Amino acid sequence: MSTTTSNARERVVIIGGGFAGLNMIKYLDKKKFDIVLVDRNNFHSFPPLFYQIASGGLDPGNISFPFRRELRRRKDGLGATFHMGDVHTIDTLYKEVHTQFESIEYDKLIIAAGTTNNFFGNPDLIKTVFTLKSAAEATRCRNEVIDRLERASLCTDDPERRRRLLSFVVVGGGPTGVEVAGAIGEMKRYIIKREYPGINPEDVQIALLEGTNRLLGGMSQESSENALKALKELMVDVHLGKLMNSYEDNVVTLNDGTKLYSEMVIWTAGVTGEKFMFSGIDYTQGRGNRFEVDEQNRVKGLDDVFAVGDIALMQTKDYPRGHPQMAQVAIQQARLLAKQLNQGTFDKKFDYVDKGSMATVGRNLAVVDLKHVHMKGWLAWMAWMFIHLISLLGMRNKLTVLINWTWSYFTYSTSLRILLHSTKYPLRKRWGEM
């Protein structure tokens, strides 16, 4: 099945509905372009809060927003359309993208597909570790954590088995790793003694592994030290300068030979760009599976193809290894590219404005780095909550998250720690799968 354009407007196909993709749609001129968004999911999610799904603090629906609600066409028929599908091949000769369902023609192609998990040459890890790159992965992680708490509460006659069930290792000391380790640490410190009286909190073992000599490598030294101190307050065992060599039979082996027993490893150690196949041209994605682009986000070596956000590799004097793979970079690149496509000229180079970075460890524990200001503790935590709250799509989501956070803060409890396993039957495959 092929989907083609039927009007005089140029067709812009956007792969990926993350921060970059949605900002492209928001700022592109609907009178000039016929816009098609393609994504494997039919909703936008807010990745910075995936760790809260994993720890039972929020529900997936709290931080997700249906594309079709956002892309409804106006009365004049202008707007954008959504096509669900996983783009696997880009045909630059016939200007088509191919999903498992259809082929879609384009005049201009915007690749905003973001990143996926990077296992650093050990792809088999995907079969044994838990990851947090999607709402579905975060939900799977939440179910596993809660399932282990429930089973551990029944091990009254086998304390060793209880400790094994409650052994957690988080790999990666970036913002996601620090946040998810802190969230489990909060459960250990505040929740278990209230809701699981049969479990001794000391039986919960949480280890955080970071290959470099400090946490939050993209933030200031002060933020790294504050985060380390906060994690220790939450009884998280932090291992700096330690890499995971292997994970077999529930044993994590580190590069110095140390062995840690863990029945649940949560991987947040790195990202790599989504991989695409190309036809019509011999093209290979660059370092980290990112697309090498010029300072107007045009993909080098491909005509009428652009890349924005995490999957774009723009090497400049200030960023010789490319810009940080953060939401603000994606948003700023998308807005500039949309403006230049509207004007039909590419006379301005992208200049990233760093608005700062932040991470939270737990209640009243956060770090914020602004241009000339560093904050920590309660004030930083309030700033973190405010920024994340206003960044969510939809007023309903904003209100729901605010209510959940407020309730949890004052009661140390949440109604979202429910265990929902998917049913096995009826057996079926998704449409388009072989």
* Sequence ranges of the chain with CATH classification 3.50.50.60: 2-40+85-117+272-343
Q: What is the pLDDT, as a whole number, of residue 79?
A: 80
- Phi and psi at 394, nearest 5°, equal 90, 130
> What is the residue-level pLDDT of the chain in tens, covering all 434 positions?
556 555 578 999 999 999 999 999 999 999 999 999 999 999 999 999 999 999 888 889 899 999 998 887 665 667 899 999 999 999 999 999 999 999 999 999 999 999 999 999 888 899 999 999 999 999 999 999 999 999 999 998 899 999 999 999 999 999 999 999 999 999 998 889 888 998 999 999 999 999 999 999 989 999 999 999 999 999 999 999 999 999 999 999 999 999 999 999 999 998 999 999 999 899 999 999 999 999 999 999 999 999 999 999 999 999 999 999 999 999 999 999 999 999 999 999 999 999 889 999 988 889 999 888 899 999 999 999 999 998 888 888 889 888 888 888 777 766 567 787 777 788 777 665 65
- Phi and psi at 429, nearest 5°, equal -110, 155
Question: Could you tell me which residues come within 8 angstroms of residue 345 by beta carbon, excluding any fewer than 6 positions away?
Answer: none
Q: Which amino acid is at 317?
A: K
Q: Is 168 exposed, middle or buried (0-12, 13-18, 19+ CB in 10 A)?
A: buried
Residues recorded for the chain: 434
Architecture (CATH level 2) of domain 123-269: 3-Layer(bba) Sandwich (3.50)
Q: Is 156 exposed, middle or buried (0-12, 13-18, 19+ CB in 10 A)?
A: exposed
Which helix (DSSP H) or strand (DSSP E) does residue 180 occupy? Answer: helix 175-186
Distance, CA of 274 to CA of 109 (rounded, Å): 16
Task: State the CB neighbour count (10 A cutoff) for residue 392.
Answer: 22
> What 3-state DSSP class applies to 213?
coil
Do residues 352 and 336 lie in contact, with contact meaning Cβ atoms separated by under 8 Å? no
| CATH number corresponding to 2-40+85-117+272-343 | 3.50.50.60
Q: Is 409 exposed, middle or buried (0-12, 13-18, 19+ CB in 10 A)?
A: exposed
How many angstroms separate the Cα of 323 from the Cα of each of 136, 212, 373? 28, 20, 22
Counting residues of the chain whose pLDDT is more than 90, the rounded percentage is 75
Question: Could you tell me which residues come within 8 angstroms of residue 97 by beta carbon, excluding any fewer than 6 positions away?
Answer: 13, 15, 38, 87, 89, 90, 91, 103, 104, 106, 109
Do residues 224 and 230 lie in contact, with contact meaning Cβ atoms separated by under 8 Å? no
Q: Is 141 exposed, middle or buried (0-12, 13-18, 19+ CB in 10 A)?
A: buried
Query: Whole-model pTM?
Result: 0.91
Reading the block at residue 389, the tokens are 């709250």
Reading the block at residue 154, the tokens are 């029944």
**Alpha-carbon dihedral sign for residues 40, 42, 48, 54:** negative
Reading the block at residue 388, the tokens are 């994340």
Rounded to the nearest 10 degrees, the angle between the axes of helix 327-343 and helix 19-27 is 30
Give me the active site residues, please. 179
Question: Could you tell me which residues come within 8 angstroms of residue 38 by beta carbon, excluding any fewer than 6 positions away?
Answer: 13, 14, 15, 16, 82, 83, 84, 85, 87, 97, 99, 104
Reading the block at residue 260, the tokens are 């840690």
Q: What is the pLDDT, as a whole number, of residue 415?
A: 55
* Sequence ranges of the chain with CATH classification 3.50.50.100: 123-269
> For 345-383, b where at least 16 C-beta lie within 10 A, e where not — what string?
eeeeebebeeebbbbbbbbebbbbbeeeebbbeeebbeb
* 62: nearest Cα among 72, 48, 73: 48
Distance, CA of 180 to CA of 327 (rounded, Å): 19
Q: What is the pLDDT, as a whole number, of residue 272?
A: 94
Q: Is 25 exposed, middle or buried (0-12, 13-18, 19+ CB in 10 A)?
A: buried
